[in-house]
């Protein structure tokens, strides 16, 4: 029962049928000032129309949840209203190798086939610098997901809500950070960021219905994945070139 329930709620993704595409926003909180969260990225599968959130972490990389992986993902930068999407950018998905379609290691990088040009409405967000740096408890989570946990309540525009981190010892795993509130991310908010201070510290993964009106939202703890992130984001130009590698091989 517990496991089934977790799996059911892990997939905070949101789909819509062709033509009738319902979009929704965070439970509680308010509509974000248009383009004030310029790092926020709208992600959608061009075939299934499943949608997720994500953040631009470098001109050529978006970070999101691994359970948002799909065959025809497109990312949309600088979006406020999903009824007015700019041209999408195709991506190459790099899910965490240990992600197994259940809670845990729910993190994925998307390499943009055309790097973004940063401007007033398209910006990057900083990642934590070290694994154990202290995290501000006052955080903001945002997305285009449902505005009600058990009822569809559409909003085409980006929404955000303040949440407070609880002691990470209570989150069940050091790979997670969590909040416990009556408000927070719901279906469709997956992959979106938990921003604490000026850093993206968490990725919306799943929630647990604790009791009436109390939901524990679970976020992938980004700082715990820094080595993997840095490795995955190494572009070929940053690696020693073939000539050099070839020479080294011969020396050995
Ligand atoms: C910023 O970039 C986005 C995505 O490339 C584009 O849709 C938007 O028009 C640009 N905005 C400005 C002010 O140039
Ligand atoms: C979050 O808290 C800040 C500081 O208290 C406040 O200015 C802001 O309006 C709040 N945001 C939301 C979405 O409630
Ligand atoms: C969460 O659980 C409460 C009872 O504990 C129930 O009333 C409510 O409908 C549940 N919400 C969802 C979204 O399942
Ligand atoms: C890459 O190869 C070129 C010559 O082919 C060489 O001049 C350059 O120093 C090499 N770069 C690195 C980082 O080894």
User: For 130-162, how does the pLDDT look when each residue is reduced to its tens digit (9 = 90+)?
Assistant: 998 889 999 999 999 888 887 776 568 999 999
Our answer on whether the CB atom of 71 is closer than 6 Å to any ligand 4 atom is no
**Residue 190 among the catalytic residues:** yes
Among the bound ligands, name the one nearest to the CA of residue 76. Answer: 1
Atom of ligand 3 nearest to the CA of 215: 1
Banded pLDDT at 210 (limits 50, 70, 90): confident
Question: Pseudo-torsion of CA 46, 47, 49, 51, nearest 10°?
Answer: -60
Atom of ligand 1 nearest to the CA of 119: 1
| 161-to-25, 33, 74, 141 alpha-carbon distances in Å | 10, 12, 26, 6
pLDDT for 88 equals 97
The pTM assigned to this predicted structure is 0.82
Atom 6, ligand 2: residue with shortest CA distance: 162
The average confidence (pLDDT) of the chain is 85
pLDDT for 15 equals 43
Q: How many CB atoms lie within 10 A of CB 188?
A: 30
Atom 13, ligand 2: residue with shortest CA distance: 161
Class of domain 2-232: mainly beta
Q: Is 133 helix (H, G, I), strand (E, B) or coil?
A: coil
Banded pLDDT at 37 (limits 50, 70, 90): very high
The arithmetic mean of pLDDT across residues 184-212, rounded, is 93
The arithmetic mean of pLDDT across residues 244-250, rounded, is 52
Structure confidence by residue, pLDDT tens digits, 41-96: 999 999 998 899 999 999 999 999 999 999 999 999 999 999 999 999 999 999 99
The arithmetic mean of pLDDT across residues 210-234, rounded, is 93
pLDDT for 78 equals 97
How close is the Cα of 237 to the center of ligand 4, in Å?
A: 11
pLDDT exceeds cutoff 80 at 25:
no
Q: Is 91 helix (H, G, I), strand (E, B) or coil?
A: strand
pLDDT for 9 equals 43
Task: With residue 232 as reference, give the H or E element that holds it.
Answer: helix 226-232
pLDDT for 109 equals 98
> Is the model more confident about 209 or about 22?
209
**What are the residue ranges of helices labelled H in 111-198?**
none
């Amino acid at each position: 029962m517990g496991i089934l329930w977790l799996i059911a709620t892990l997939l905070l993704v949101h789909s819509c049928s062709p033509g009738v595409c319902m979009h929704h926003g965070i439970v509680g909180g308010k509509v974000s000032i248009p383009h004030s969260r310029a790092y926020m990225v709208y992600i959608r599968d061009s075939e299934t129309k499943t949608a997720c959130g994500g953040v631009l972490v470098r001109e050529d990389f978006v970070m999101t949840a691994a359970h948002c992986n799909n065959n025809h993902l497109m990312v949309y930068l600088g979006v406020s209203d999903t009824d007015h999407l700019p041209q999408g950018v195709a991506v190459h998905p790099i899910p965490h190798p240990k992600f197994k379609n259940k809670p845990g290691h729910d993190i994925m990088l998307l390499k943009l086939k055309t790097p973004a040009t940063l401007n007033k409405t398209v910006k990057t967000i900083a990642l934590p610098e070290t694994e154990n740096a202290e995290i501000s408890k006052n955080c903001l989570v945002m997305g285009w997901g449902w505005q009600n946990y058990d009822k569809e309540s559409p909003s085409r525009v980006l929404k955000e809500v303040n949440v407070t981190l609880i002691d990470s010892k209570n989150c069940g795993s050091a790979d997670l950070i969590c909040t416990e509130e009556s408000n927070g991310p719901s279906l469709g908010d997956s992959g979106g960021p938990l921003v604490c201070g000026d850093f993206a510290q968490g990725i919306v993964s799943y929630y647990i219905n604790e009791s009436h009106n109390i939901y524990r939202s679970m976020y992938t703890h980004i700082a715990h994945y820094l080595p993997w992130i840095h490795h995955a984001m190494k572009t070929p130009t940053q690696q020693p070139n073939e000539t050099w590698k070839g020479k080294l091989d011969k020396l050995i």
